[in-house]
Amino acid sequence: MSTGATSIIGWEHSVFGKLEHPDTASLMGSVVPGALKHAAVAPEEVDGIFVGVYNNGFSTQDFQAGLVSMAVPALAEVPATRLENACATGSAALYAALDFVESGRGKVALVVGAEKMTGVTSTRAGEILLSGCYGPEEAAVESGFAGVFAGIAAAYADRYGDPSETLARIAAKNHHNGVTNPYAQMRKDLGFDFCNTVSEKNPMVAPPLRRTDCSLISDGAAALVVAAPDVARSAPRRVGFRARAQANDFMALSKRDPLEFAGVRRAWSAAIEQAGITTLELDLLETHDCFTIAELLQYEALGLADRGQGHRVLDEGLVSPEGKLPVNRSGGLKSKGHPIGATGVSMHAIAAMQLAGEAGGMQLEAVELAGVFNMGGSAVANYASILEAW
């Protein structure tokens, strides 16, 4: 499927972290007007709204699509739909919006992703997040979703050797990158030694994963405006989709090799083939580092290294900000934060900022092609996008 006809023409991004916004309606209201203004689009020009919120217990208020007009009354009569696909919820909303525009059902779509996660205790947040795994087999794991990925990391150690030092290098890289991201929850360069050492400030969460190996509990929102070609031609900016693909895998880890990330590989390979490029022809990649072991396995699934050899991309400096393919120049989920429903929208917004030359202190030089990979669960729902500057 060709997806080059539709463009991102505007965006807005909140700071991520423990925010004063009381709920997702407030968070949506903090980004939607700015996104429309950035795109030079009036509310009455919006043909459809696509909302990404995971919720599942973070709030007793649901029916999230209906909350957009409560935050922005001018959008009250616009059809609105809510999408949910675990940690890939934001990308699910974006892809639905792109399908809506490309089908000809509308010319302008608004995408908004949000999550209010800090309104519950950390224990309750962990329980809610664990609902994104296969409950009959995985819900009893200790330490929530961190425990699920700790099991994956332990399996990696058994097969290929202890990855702890490599995981610390990934964490240190992403925290270093996050310093220049004004939206990031943690703008502090922690350094490799801190990330590689178990301490009072960096305790073991679920062996072998330390706190620095785990993404943050976050509040936040991001919004995008996507438009058909005739609208986009007169927009202040255009960031196009050269390719996009989604691939799923079994939800239960017992049904697959948890180290293969086969769904990741299928989605990425489809997008790269559709785009007619190789991964190393990209100028940057924003990828889903919910845990550092996820980024390591993605290096291998995306073809940057052979299986069990993901450490080599760090050894060679390939994924550093100065490398051939900077990975998570935004700081990734590790530093930026991970408000579930907002994450996929945020990742695409960050890539669009880079392509439009609007990334501020994060800006890389000569960015023409950007990759985004966002996944739901333990590589169950996988979304791969190739964006280009138009």
What whole-number percentage of the chain has pLDDT above 70?
Answer: 99
Strands (E), the chain: 7-13, 48-52, 80-83, 108-116, 204-206, 209-210, 219-227, 239-248, 284-286, 369-376, 381-389
Between CA 184 and CA 157 the distance in angstroms is: 31
Kindly report, residue by residue over 229-244, the tens digit of the pLDDT. Answer: 999 999 999 999 999 9
Catalytic hit among 21, 288, 338, 348: 338
Residue 274 DSSP one-character state: H
Residue 47, pLDDT above cutoff 80:
yes
Catalytic hit among 21, 87, 176, 195: 87
* Cis, bond preceding 208 (omega within 30 deg of 0): yes
CATH class, range 7-120+217-232: alpha beta
Identify the pLDDT of residue 3.
Answer: 41
User: Is 195 annotated in the active site?
Assistant: no
Residue 162, pLDDT above cutoff 90:
yes
Between CA 225 and CA 255 the distance in angstroms is: 38
Between CA 9 and CA 35 the distance in angstroms is: 9
Residue 4, pLDDT above cutoff 60:
no
User: Is 87 annotated in the active site?
Assistant: yes
User: Which is it for strands 80-83 and 204-206: parallel, antiparallel or unpaired?
Assistant: unpaired
* Cis, bond preceding 182 (omega within 30 deg of 0): no
Within the chain, all domains assigned CATH 3.40.47.10 are found at 7-120+217-232, 240-389
Instruction: State which CATH number among 3.40.47.10, 3.40.1380.10, 3.90.226.10, 3.40.640.10 fits the domain covering 240-389.
Output: 3.40.47.10
pLDDT-based confidence at residue 252 (cuts at 50, 70, 90): very high
Q: What is the pTM of this model?
A: 0.97
Residue 1, pLDDT above cutoff 70:
no
Continuous segment of H or E residues that includes residue 60: none
Least confident of 132-136, 139-143, 334-338: 139-143
The average pLDDT across 252-274 equals 98
Identify the pLDDT of residue 143.
Answer: 85
Return the biggest CA–CA distance within the chain: 57
288, 87 in Cβ contact below 8 A? yes
